[in-house]
């Protein structure tokens, strides 16, 4: 495990060394976790690099198509429930 001393400013800002940022893929933001051992900084994945990671689950459908399909299903279910209530 590599260790580096970093200065903390009066505003609580610390610099993450460039080598660590590059090694761990840290961009503009990090997740800050309070652990028993101290503070843990975790990289947050860039959404643009994660783009399409759900494609294997949903095939070629776009998010709009998926939403349209889900809403149509909900409307159909609501109609069935309403129609059951009218028959009683």
Q: What is the 3-state secondary structure (H, E, C) of the chain?
A: CCCCCCCECCCCCECCCHHHHHHHCCCCCEEEEEECCEEEEEECCCHHHHCCCCHHHHCCCCHHHHHHHHHHHHHHHHHHHHHHHHHC
Tokens encoding 8: 């903390």
Q: Give the least confident one: 7-11, 26-30, 39-43.
A: 26-30
pTM equals 0.50
Number of domains in the chain: 2
81 shares a domain with 65: yes
Q: Is residue 12 situated within a structural domain?
A: no
Q: Which domain holds residue 22?
A: 18-48
Write out pLDDT tens, residues 6-26: 999 999 999 999 999 999 988
Q: Is residue 2 situated within a structural domain?
A: no
């Amino acid at each position: 495990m590599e260790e580096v001393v970093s200065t903390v400013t009066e505003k609580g800002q610390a610099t993450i060394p460039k080598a660590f940022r590059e090694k761990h893929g840290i961009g503009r933001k990090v997740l800050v976790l309070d652990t028993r051992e101290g503070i843990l900084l975790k990289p947050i994945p860039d959404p643009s690099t994660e783009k399409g990671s759900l494609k294997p689950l949903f095939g070629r459908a776009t998010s709009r198509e998926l939403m349209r399909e889900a809403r149509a299903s909900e409307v159909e279910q609501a109609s069935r429930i309403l129609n059951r209530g009218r028959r009683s």
